[in-house]
Structure 1
């Protein structure tokens, strides 16, 4: 009976291909148990440490196989995983401004910090000094055997951070032979976007046209060697991977060659321009009169100042669209069996990664209010006369000035980022007796990283060099001649340039041990005994980021604020257990519980209950309930509180504010300021943000219900519903949301966090800002459906298979303030300043034709339409949001012989451009970078050799 059950489970699993949990979860780990003359294979599936005789579990698992990874053509792990409908784009190579240099995964869109990432079932460490979540750059794509994505709460099994689920990278540690792979890829696009070309023509901007040729090239070389040793008692695998890709600037694509305005209907840009802008207010009776404002720049004809007429700097072309990257990694997996009771093992990996995030030149960015007088040696007589007439002043009076001068003389800014990550795992496993086994391990992992920011301007050096009152430019000090057309020289700019450096070390030490086996107890209604796991774990997390004085004091004008050093330590002690209870032949109950004690927040308990019921051999119903927690990380707890930037819109600014004077008065705007406060040309405003040492752990409850079916041969499907509810979410309300709620409700809870500068601005200088600190702010309620379908046809000497993996988002509700349902908003099927792009429906559909020695495949990636919730982006308002998008990929392979295989393909064969959005929505280059195909057509080719 038992063996028959295994056969049925495996048959059901094999039918599913990459679309089902069961399918490629076989061989995660296996042991043999003798029962009479038969051997029954037991496997360990992601989401449990109990080895079991069936493959499907009560929690849904999506699997991506090594073959699917290879045929995708991508060699960056985040690009590979972002193809799954269940994963949203997080940190990718398509981000430049503020990039951490890491690659992260975001399951369900709940945040990378709520997605637990494992290698062979064991957690990874934080990826860098600026990121608290794992960096999947550490994982060699060529050695991945499969990726298992568990989309139900798994906190009771693996501990904190598994609120959205688990991504487990199962590596090929059983490899035999020698494999050598060489690959190359690149992008190609036809620049023929008439819409944005017309906008750039109106501005007089230059842009590329026609075919780009092959650009953004990447190259990979990897080698893997594996073999048994010691007469088959041991097995070892070693690998080495080198990867490099070239940079791509936004100027290489016409649709990214100018920065769209907030409305998305014109080429915007920055008010910090090569020809300087000035925001000037008079001093009257010793006080600054902010009701009188002169906003202008140097008249290009040489006639002093000219009032602003919309002249902006197009900062887009020099920004990175895709960062350059070079990465080298090596590693090994070693196992040795001394006897059945003692099998030591070792895993080692080392990765070194270098990248740089280049953005437009630095500048003075209207950062500081300078007190000036009419004795300034740099200003012309005409300029002084113009200001005196405008303000009704005399030569004895004073005025204050904000300066926006772009440092085109000094070149682009760049953050040079390096990471070195290493991981050492050692342990032993074995059988205690015929029914019990153990596993004890020690896991040490660490990341050293550095950030060296170059070509930024130093704030303290500006005042003396522009002749501010109370300062002196002496010795070798050169005046920064911003009041003369073309007056700034490279020598003047070089005196202002500075370099900021941050270095640090992140370490994680995990001690883990557990025993698993079968109890001498069987329910009267079942044939198999109850199985269990009990274990202990200790995690020690240490985080340090050391900033030099330049970073710590916020001297670099292009950084938005100070970045002080950060130190923190979190220790966790866990006690965990699991039970698998066969209730009847076909009905199983699975229970798990974990007690955790955190050095920062005390103790918590998580638990889960799952049921799976097999009907008529080909149908299985499954359900699970889980309570999960996530303790706040070091950055959330101990991050310094300081002024930085947020992207969005001040709807009370500009000559025609969106809201009434009465509503805007709630934010601190006076009647005289209403209609006279300048909007930020770059759509960037100030916020006071940072950590909170009093944070409590988040709590979440997850429910999943599903069916897995194989109604007839070669056809299968699965449908799983999930419901995730979170409370005490660690995060921020959001500066944009605080401002909007204050305007619309007048609630002091929000309005007390809005502080306008004396001029009414939220971006000029640093006196105006929105307080947006981390807190246990509210709730999240996510609901959706995952669906997979698979069908295989056996043809004469060939096979044709079809697979669909889809995700339908039913609800993505954010409750900024817990218990205040009136403020809740739903991000499902919506894009806004508060909502990342989330189509209601998203899927991948694959068709593969395989014959002797060759294969041809097609993939259809579909993104449903998205509504726009907002008013600032008039382009999205007019279009009704974002249209649906389809991308078609083609790939193929051919085996020249048993040892050499050629692989190639084209992704996005029709060269579809990503949807364009205005500056309040765009994450980079006028689009939601990394979510949709960003750079056009992608071509890839590789040669795989195995001996």
Structure 2
């Protein structure tokens, strides 16, 4: 996947250019760094369109809270990935990122307020981007050209009245540089203090005005490369906090409750003296399975999967963009936007955990010690059940290749003197190919382990199997390195899946002043949009049928829908220029949609703005928003999953190994499923992860939300350069699409609460099958489906302070030190985040959700010029949280604490002259390790919320002509 020759060549070119340009371009002028520190939005404006409305305003203050991240702030972050820029914002709960590995689909997403990436609408220059992901239909932020961003506008709170579906949580609008003139070459290279995690990015922007300034074309091309970092390369990630996996190092024969093994001695040094689960020495001799979750114990039979898992996924990306506009007349302009991205990312997991393999007792590789244990069972002739970590096959790797193309064109202009109109046509297509390597075929594994009665030997498979699979080679399960290379090649399975998403949009808008009231003009906007989405997921035949061990089976899905929409907005001035009322006005809006999938939906908004004087104003907004279900939510066909939780019938904890107390009522209910009392049978859940199957629901309705925001804006004329905003938000989502009972664990809990296999909790009427059942070994299986079954509510307070603090008193008459210190503070106090009335605010790693939700989150940035050098310091803070592990469902005990987390970044940007800008920075200056906790979303922590790399150095160059 990686093209090292390209990267090496570009790095050499960058280094040479930096040195040469810095030395030969010496004419004094204003530094680029200083120019960038003052964003274009700081310039005086008379009329702008603010994200969240299509009616132009005289300033950037709107009735809805909006956070603007300028290009200077983006550059000061030193981040080369768009999601890293957004994840530090307090309004954002980090979604998939470069550090996502399990789960990961190779994308990067943004999630406002923790409502889910599918409920955050991503726009580029006000237009929808083509989705990429199967499950959420979210936009892959890797497709947005980071170096081309002029600013990012983040509006929280429902915005469906303006933009339609998917905007329940809000909108993230990336405004790009579409009027560039000249040539700008930028490059950046970074390396961690550990000598790994290399990142390299180089980009070229070329723009020109033509035809006397009537038109402009801006072209952009970039190349980005990121290296892999494994769990083995960080001490805190080396050992799995989950206690590893029961697949073992040399294989394990699972104890079957109805046909148990005798209690068998474990190896010397194991805390448990005997066990009915059977493991093997490297040479294949049988002994009791040492279920020690202390993975540092050399005799434990638990497998530590963490060292070979990714902490940072490798990636390679090429992006191309072309932006243009042309003024045909004073009142007619044409526009063009073309985007293409080829993004390649790889995730890596430990070798395949092969489980549930039924093996005949006449398998030719059975040792004498194991044969005697097989003979001692109640039914000595029955097959035995085996599991093994397939170390010799190699680590599982998934290469994710996302190719996205989007074309946007249209016309805009002015009619009736001052009415502005625009029309847009866009087409986008995403082709997402996932290639998986080093999985294991279930059918081939069965063939390679048949018994000797079928003619199998240690050198040949049975005749019946050879007739079906002539390439079959016998596989020795017992011990380490026991299988031949021919057998490994036979069972190894590589496969590829393809996801395709196409979006067609046509729309038009018109806006202007309808008439004049005593307090001012009534501004209105109206428009229409037709959107058509089609989606298909085509898994490899083996993947779709479940003929795999190392990944979950996923079924083919295809479908689509179209929607016809009309909307209208109005700003109505009520009172102006009277005592205590500089301006009082309303903002109103409504949108009516007709979906081919869910029928008609509506969205509304009503806001109030009260400007007391030029210094102080209040604002408030009520919005009712909606989101139509995605094709995947409608038609998911029974995808496989392995959530981690405790079987209520298990007599021991699957993670700690501690004894569990089971009530008599639950024991009786378990006996109906297991064919006997679980305590008498000594039933122990064989793995901490249990198999589940997920289905969609064609009868889903659209989600509905209500958002209330109330706030104040203070820009005192007597304190120059100060701006303070304080906003309260309250978001409620009803008919929230979720799995029944919150997922597999909740389904089991609900079923066991009824103690009735015929109850609605134990029988899933959506799919007409039992919600829980057990296989021949007694292992619990779960079926879940989607439904409008949940409710989500979150509320909190946002504070934003922007201040150019005067330092003239400190640096009087200095020509070197600036008399201003730029201060930017963003703080969010999360009051509540409830899903189905369960409070998650102040938690990390809670069961049922994979989100980090601190009570306090803040981002602080200071910027100061010393001559031509701009110094930036920024920090991100998370307050202390509880780790609400999934064991809390069935086990007593308190929660562990996730401590305060505070990281600091510093950067220096030297504006050598008007053409050359050099940058050096350190991310995570104090080398802060991420909080480590037991029930983590991925890799002993939340890798999307916390930095997993550590101290990181980078240098960069920008050259402009």
Instruction: Verify same fold: TM over 0.5.
Output: yes
Q: Which runs of 5+ in 2 are unaligned?
A: 1-34, 264-274, 293-300, 455-461, 577-582, 653-658, 765-770
After alignment, is 88-97 or 439-448 more displaced? 88-97
Aligned to 2:197: 216
Pick from 533, 538, 543: which aligns with 2:525?
533
- Whole-Å Cα distance in 1 between the matches of residues 123 and 892 of structure 2? 39
Contact 1:19 1:804 in 2 (8 A): no
Helix, strand or coil for the counterpart of 2:53?
Answer: coil
Helix, strand or coil for the counterpart of 2:107?
Answer: coil
Structure 1 residues 597 and 410 mapped into 2: Cα distance closer, same or farther (>3 Å)?
A: same
Aligned to 2:594: 597
Taking the TM superposition and a 5 Å limit, the aligned residue runs for 1:833-872 are 833-835=847-849, 836-870=851-885, 872=887
- Whole-Å Cα distance in 2 between the matches of residues 946 and 877 of structure 1? 61
Structure 1 residues 321 and 658 mapped into 2: Cα distance closer, same or farther (>3 Å)?
A: farther
Pick from 393, 403, 420: which aligns with 2:386?
403
Contact 2:419 2:512 in 1 (8 A): yes
- Whole-Å Cα distance in 2 between the matches of residues 944 and 665 of structure 1? 72
Aligned to 1:716: 723
Taking the TM superposition and a 5 Å limit, the aligned residue runs for 1:189-338 are 212=194, 214-261=195-242, 268-281=243-256, 294-300=276-282, 303-310=285-292, 311-338=301-328
Aligned to 2:517: 523
Deviations 1:816-848 (A, max 9, x none): xxxxxxxx2011112321242211111011222
Taking the TM superposition and a 5 Å limit, the aligned residue runs for 1:651-670 are 652-655=649-652, 656-657=659-660, 659-663=662-666, 665-666=668-669
Structure 1 residues 465 and 501 mapped into 2: Cα distance closer, same or farther (>3 Å)?
A: same
Helix, strand or coil for the counterpart of 2:632?
Answer: helix
- Whole-Å Cα distance in 2 between the matches of residues 719 and 664 of structure 1? 55
- Whole-Å Cα distance in 1 between the matches of residues 230 and 52 of structure 2? 42
Contact 1:24 1:63 in 2 (8 A): no
- Whole-Å Cα distance in 2 between the matches of residues 894 and 303 of structure 1? 67
After alignment, is 347-356 or 308-317 more displaced? 308-317
- Whole-Å Cα distance in 2 between the matches of residues 215 and 775 of structure 1? 45
- Whole-Å Cα distance in 1 between the matches of residues 702 and 956 of structure 2? 46
> How big is the shift at 1:556?
1.3
- Whole-Å Cα distance in 2 between the matches of residues 164 and 583 of structure 1? 29
Deviations 1:308-365 (A, max 9, x none): 454112221111111110000111111100112221110111100111111111142x
> How big is the shift at 1:910?
0.9
Structure 1 residues 481 and 804 mapped into 2: Cα distance closer, same or farther (>3 Å)?
A: same
After alignment, is 300-309 or 564-573 more displaced? 300-309
- Whole-Å Cα distance in 2 between the matches of residues 758 and 387 of structure 1? 20
Taking the TM superposition and a 5 Å limit, the aligned residue runs for 1:738-753 are 738-743=747-752, 748-752=759-763
Taking the TM superposition and a 5 Å limit, the aligned residue runs for 1:610-689 are 610-650=607-647, 652-655=649-652, 656-657=659-660, 659-663=662-666, 665-666=668-669, 672-674=677-679, 676-681=682-687, 683-689=688-694
Aligned to 2:24: none
Aligned to 2:397: 414
Alignment partner of 1:802 is 2:854:
no
After alignment, is 418-427 or 665-674 more displaced? 665-674
Aligned to 1:206: none
Structure 1 residues 539 and 411 mapped into 2: Cα distance closer, same or farther (>3 Å)?
A: same
Aligned to 1:734: 743
- Whole-Å Cα distance in 1 between the matches of residues 421 and 668 of structure 2? 67
> How big is the shift at 1:18?
13
> How big is the shift at 1:880?
4.1
Aligned to 2:498: 503
- Whole-Å Cα distance in 2 between the matches of residues 803 and 448 of structure 1? 40
Pick from 560, 563, 572: which aligns with 1:569?
560
> How big is the shift at 1:902?
1.1
Helix, strand or coil for the counterpart of 1:635?
Answer: helix
Aligned to 1:429: 412
Pick from 416, 422, 438: which aligns with 1:455?
438
Contact 1:330 1:351 in 2 (8 A): yes
Structure 1 residues 928 and 516 mapped into 2: Cα distance closer, same or farther (>3 Å)?
A: same
> How big is the shift at 1:696?
0.6
- Whole-Å Cα distance in 2 between the matches of residues 257 and 104 of structure 1? 27
> How big is the shift at 1:658?
5.6
Aligned to 1:829: 842
Alignment partner of 1:465 is 2:448:
yes
> How big is the shift at 1:258?
1.6
Contact 2:796 2:832 in 1 (8 A): yes
How many residue pairs end up in the alignment?
857
Helix, strand or coil for the counterpart of 1:113?
Answer: helix
Aligned to 1:769: 781
Under a length normalisation based on structure 1, what TM-score does the superposition of the two structures give?
0.86
Contact 1:26 1:55 in 2 (8 A): no
Structure 1 residues 229 and 595 mapped into 2: Cα distance closer, same or farther (>3 Å)?
A: same
Aligned to 1:755: 772
- Whole-Å Cα distance in 2 between the matches of residues 174 and 18 of structure 1? 16
Deviations 1:74-110 (A, max 9, x none): 1010111101011111111212234111111111000
Alignment partner of 1:932 is 2:946:
yes
Helix, strand or coil for the counterpart of 2:472?
Answer: coil
Deviations 1:517-537 (A, max 9, x none): 111x2223x1x2111111110
Under a length normalisation based on structure 2, what TM-score does the superposition of the two structures give?
0.85
- Whole-Å Cα distance in 1 between the matches of residues 696 and 472 of structure 2? 39
Structure 1 residues 619 and 360 mapped into 2: Cα distance closer, same or farther (>3 Å)?
A: same
Structure 1 residues 937 and 434 mapped into 2: Cα distance closer, same or farther (>3 Å)?
A: same
Helix, strand or coil for the counterpart of 1:684?
Answer: coil
Contact 1:544 1:567 in 2 (8 A): yes
Contact 2:37 2:72 in 1 (8 A): no
Contact 2:47 2:58 in 1 (8 A): yes
- Whole-Å Cα distance in 2 between the matches of residues 351 and 486 of structure 1? 42
Deviations 1:706-745 (A, max 9, x none): 0010233232211100111111111111222233344456
- Whole-Å Cα distance in 2 between the matches of residues 704 and 19 of structure 1? 30
Structure 1 residues 770 and 270 mapped into 2: Cα distance closer, same or farther (>3 Å)?
A: same
- Whole-Å Cα distance in 2 between the matches of residues 925 and 485 of structure 1? 26
Deviations 1:870-916 (A, max 9, x none): 47389997774211111111111111111111112112111111111
- Whole-Å Cα distance in 2 between the matches of residues 873 and 596 of structure 1? 43
- Whole-Å Cα distance in 2 between the matches of residues 379 and 746 of structure 1? 41
- Whole-Å Cα distance in 1 between the matches of residues 703 and 257 of structure 2? 50
Contact 1:614 1:620 in 2 (8 A): yes
- Whole-Å Cα distance in 2 between the matches of residues 805 and 56 of structure 1? 17
- Whole-Å Cα distance in 1 between the matches of residues 598 and 668 of structure 2? 40
